[in-house]
Amino acid sequence: MKLTQNTFICLIIKIAILCFGFNRITANTAPQKDLLNPKELRVEYLENPMGITVLSPRFSWLLEGNGRNRSQSAYQILVSSSKKNLEEDQGDTWDSGKVSSHDTNQIVYAGDNLISNTDYYWKVKIWDESNQESEWSEPGHWSMGLLNFSDWQGQFISHDVGYDTTDKYDSLYLPPARYLRKSFQITKKVKRATVYSTALGLYELRLNGEKVGDDYFAPGWTDYNERLYYQTHDITNSIKQGDNAIGAVIADGWYAGYIGYALLVRLDKVREFYGVNPSFMGQLHIQYEDGTEEVLATDSTWKSNEGPVREADILMGEKYDARLEHSGWDTPGYDDQGWKTPKVYTYPDGKLEAHPSSLIKNIERLRPVKITEPEPGTYIFDLGKNFAGIAELKVEGPAGTEVRLRFGEILKQDGNIQTENLRLARATDTYILKGEGVEVWQPKFTYHGFQYVEVTGYPGKPSLDAITGIVLSSIKTDASTFKTSNEMNNTLYENIKTTQEANFFDIPTDCPQRDERLGWTGDAQTYMRSATYNADVASFMTKFLVDLDDAQRWYGAYPNFAPFPYSRPNQYSPAWMDAGIIIPYNMYKVYNDKRILEFMYKGMEKFMEFQADASTDFIRPGGGNNWGDWLAVDEETSKGYIGASFYGYDAKLMAEIAEVLGRTQDAQKYRVLFENIKKAFSEKYILPDGRTTEDTQTTYALALYFDLFPENLAEKGAARLAEKIEKNSFKFSSGFLGTKHVMLALSKYGYHDLAYKLFKQTEYPSWGYSVENGSTSIWERWNSYTKNDAENSDLNAKMNSFSHYAFGSVAEWMFLHAVGIGTEDGGYRNIRIKPVISKEVDFINGSYKSINGTIASSWKWQGNKVLMTVDIPVNTKAKVHIPIENISDLREGNKKLAKVPSIKVVATNEKEAILEIGSGTYSFSFKYAP
């Protein structure tokens, strides 16, 4: 195009206007960045918790905002005694003032003494990196529970159902549930009504015909001799002027019912581990508008009875005879004259505290995917996945019809459910119809691990909606996302989450189906870090650590499971007892929780002394039960090796824990101990050529991961591990303890392709093998089942769970190495992004919602180039490791790295470049030849 003089002048003028205008626009708006606003307020890790008993609770919030390098420079917290005061910015209980700090979690309340049975309201605002002040957050809320002995007026009450002294081994004793009720009147205007309740046993609280709250299995499982948890509910809107009725249904639960394998192995006690009769205690605190207050507590003026729940046992199942319902028993106006005076029990000896976490809830409802009828009148409902929970039954038919539900994880070849692997868990629910229209029933005091429900006795042919799966869990696995090009691995990820939900059931259980369901410590420690990636388990694991601390043996060992209801001596084992150190350490690492480290510290020291005592020249022998590398295949690692190596790992973690707690002398003591163990260990178990004396996959994995190899031999050890895996056709020979460490050790020493080959493997033994065999969950054993082997082999019949999270511990590797999200300090403030990139997969996308916000990392191949995207949350920093030799080949966005001022290059070497970035989204691209 030819420019005429006129158009040229016009162009110059336009450019001038544009430039001038642009300058004005930038001058007006440039410095203003989006405000960072605090969200998702939590108190003691919980959203608006009720009735807590922590006297100086900890606060946290999350920050969100656009742009890069955003951070908090200060915060202010207001805590008020009323909503109104908070709205008017009156922190009458605590005004922290403007505190210069980057912290957004583990912030300890420091206001006036918190008062029993009182509501508190709080909010927070922050100042960003440019000192811009945010809005106040949405208000948060919590209430304090009953803090003083004198606050408690309720008595533990129950209904006397007699006692059947049946032979304890050969027949089951399953007493009925007990019903308790009380009518009361409200004559004045209510300002606030709160109910505090608990039971020795299990209870469901009722008010005016409705269940109070949405919890299952209240009050949770603890060592009831040590402590009992209670629940708090705000019922201000559920009580009415005039007549009201409150009630409770109680059953044996963990307190008095069957627990674990006691019946199977014929222990002295098979049930009633904490007491014989379940009892309930509660009190209703009513504050009236006129300033007066009334407490209505359980006592002998309540009424008691039996009812339709004829049997109620966690392992054995529930039986409900609807013909025996007391219609309207939990509503006002019910005539309870025929009911009895309850039996009053004395208070238990232990502590009475608020449950530190949330209770079990119904997290999902499942519609059956299929019904089959392998035998006339036997209907099998397939719920599509193997979960923990109950089945809701919908039925219509004549009174007295008995419908029986049994549960199985897999089907036999004839299409019937397999129940042999449940061992002595009867896992059978029975419903007897009252014959009045459509009847819908859910059991209250039992649960099962199952995919299939066998229904017999159903009147007529059931339709698909006769059964609904009620998925129960203490947690939701919504903290992470994971996707890769290999579909099998995506299914594996789903299976891991399903199995975690099925087993995070007030405590981390080994399995939800057979007569076990115990808080096995070895399983919990090996899976701990994986658990944190999939779900927010901060309060859940806090609760479990209290159980573990309560269960510590007098001589210092942590037991095989917690709570520990049996009175059996020497119930400990290497790699199981070490949960007492490994789990708290990870609570610090993931949630920056130093308080739990302080809480556990004395016990951990005692445990270290126990280990020192048991050791000779720094070698801790096997000892206790010692299951070794449980369920390993083909190779056996000696129990001594496992005992000695975990002792070294404990010493290493203790040094770090002591350092974090500012106990520098202790830290030094444990560092020296670690060095001594390492020396003794390598002298005993590591040969001069870098091989271990036992030469199993597990021996290399543990020693490499625990840093027990002498520095000059570690590379050789790693090479030998790699060689062994190759020779074993890229398959495992390891069990519960070795497997995840094989993955972690391979990635630590740069054998990325090998780690991916194991991850993708579908031949036995591998994770893919279970997925290829149609599993929706993680199996206890590598070879739990094959499509061609659906008949019960001896193995299947005896001990075989299809919902065991322990082998799901590969999730730790998936997030730490494949996605590449780790933390350098406690709580992901200083994040490490270091994905292991391999040609074995086309891409990996993942994210993790940490206590400091959501971190995302993904990478994919584009020809011989890698595109990597990273999302770093506000108020955190990340070191990003990029496998590149020459930094000048690296681009971020469309620019060469040198042109992106917000990125700092902190180190380069022949293997990688390490960049430091602040919050924001970054896309890197680089050529890579692994």
The site for ligand BGC (CB under 6 A) is made up of 510-511, 516, 520, 522-523, 627, 630, 804, 806
CA 306 to CA 328: how far, in whole Å?
Answer: 14
CA 115 to CA 98: how far, in whole Å?
Answer: 25
Q: To the nearest whole angstrom, how small is the minimum distance from the Cβ of residue 806 to ligand BGC? A: 6
CA 668 to CA 414: how far, in whole Å?
Answer: 63
Pairing of strands 58-64, 37-43: antiparallel
Nearer to ligand BGC, 735 or 822 (CB): 735
Structure tokens at 402: 């008995």
Nearer to ligand BGC, 111 or 738 (CB): 738
Give Cβ neighbours of residue 663 (< 8 Å, ≥ 6 apart).
Answer: none
CA 772 to CA 785: how far, in whole Å?
Answer: 11
Nearer to ligand BGC, 516 or 593 (CB): 516
CA 143 to CA 84: how far, in whole Å?
Answer: 16
Q: To the nearest whole angstrom, how small is the minimum distance from the Cβ of residue 359 to ligand BGC? A: 24
Residue 328, Ramachandran bin (φ over 0: left; ψ between -120 and 50: alpha; else beta): left
Q: To the nearest whole angstrom, how small is the minimum distance from the Cβ of residue 628 to ligand BGC? A: 9
Q: To the nearest whole angstrom, how small is the minimum distance from the Cβ of residue 445 to ligand BGC? A: 23
Nearer to ligand BGC, 196 or 273 (CB): 273
Cβ proximity of 186 and 244 under 8 Å: yes
Nearer to ligand BGC, 627 or 756 (CB): 627
Query: What SS3 state is found at 301?
Result: coil
Query: What SS3 state is found at 499?
Result: helix
Report the candidate in 365, 736, 310, 360 with the shortest Cα–Cα distance to residue 512.
360
Q: To the nearest whole angstrom, how small is the minimum distance from the Cβ of residue 804 to ligand BGC? A: 6
Q: To the nearest whole angstrom, how small is the minimum distance from the Cβ of residue 107 to ligand BGC? A: 37
Residue 341, Ramachandran bin (φ over 0: left; ψ between -120 and 50: alpha; else beta): beta
Cβ proximity of 427 and 513 under 8 Å: yes
Q: Verify whether residue 516 is a known catalytic residue.
A: yes
| Rg, C-alpha atoms of the chain | 30
Report the candidate in 270, 267, 272 with the shortest Cα–Cα distance to residue 253.
272
CA 624 to CA 521: how far, in whole Å?
Answer: 14
CA 802 to CA 453: how far, in whole Å?
Answer: 15
Q: To the nearest whole angstrom, how small is the minimum distance from the Cβ of residue 228 to ligand BGC? A: 27
Q: Which of 272, 454, 780, 840 is catalytic?
A: 780
Nearer to ligand BGC, 215 or 516 (CB): 516
Give the orientation angle of helix 738-748 with respect to helix 711-727, to 10 degrees. 120
DSSP label of 278: -
Give Cβ neighbours of residue 265 (< 8 Å, ≥ 6 apart).
Answer: none
Question: Which residue is associated with the tokens 């009875």?
Answer: 305
Q: Cα 513 to chain center, whole Å?
A: 19
Give Cβ neighbours of residue 615 (< 8 Å, ≥ 6 apart).
Answer: 621, 647
CA 734 to CA 731: how far, in whole Å?
Answer: 9
Q: To the nearest whole angstrom, how small is the minimum distance from the Cβ of residue 638 to ligand BGC? A: 16
Torsion angles phi and psi, residue 112, rounded to 5: -60, 160
Report the candidate in 874, 880, 787, 867 with the shortest Cα–Cα distance to residue 69.
874
Q: To the nearest whole angstrom, how small is the minimum distance from the Cβ of residue 511 to ligand BGC? A: 6
Report the candidate in 784, 839, 782 with the shortest Cα–Cα distance to residue 486.
839
Report the candidate in 375, 358, 316 with the shortest Cα–Cα distance to residue 47.
358
Structure tokens at 153: 């007026």
- Greatest alpha-carbon pair distance for the chain in Å reads 113
Question: Which residue is associated with the tokens 């690492």?
Answer: 589
Cβ proximity of 697 and 734 under 8 Å: yes
Sign of the four-CA dihedral 678, 683, 685, 690: positive
Q: Which of 204, 439, 501, 516 is catalytic?
A: 516
The angle formed by the CA atoms of residues 822, 46 and 314, to the nearest 5 degrees, is 100
Nearer to ligand BGC, 516 or 666 (CB): 516
Query: What SS3 state is found at 734?
Result: coil
CA 472 to CA 159: how far, in whole Å?
Answer: 28
Nearer to ligand BGC, 458 or 630 (CB): 630
Across the strands, what pairs with 366? 469
Q: To the nearest whole angstrom, how small is the minimum distance from the Cβ of residue 560 to ligand BGC? A: 7
Give Cβ neighbours of residue 464 (< 8 Å, ≥ 6 apart).
Answer: 367, 368, 371, 381
CA 462 to CA 459: how far, in whole Å?
Answer: 8
Q: Verify whether residue 226 is a known catalytic residue.
A: no
The angle formed by the CA atoms of residues 214, 216 and 217, to the nearest 5 degrees, is 150
Active site residue ranges: 516, 780
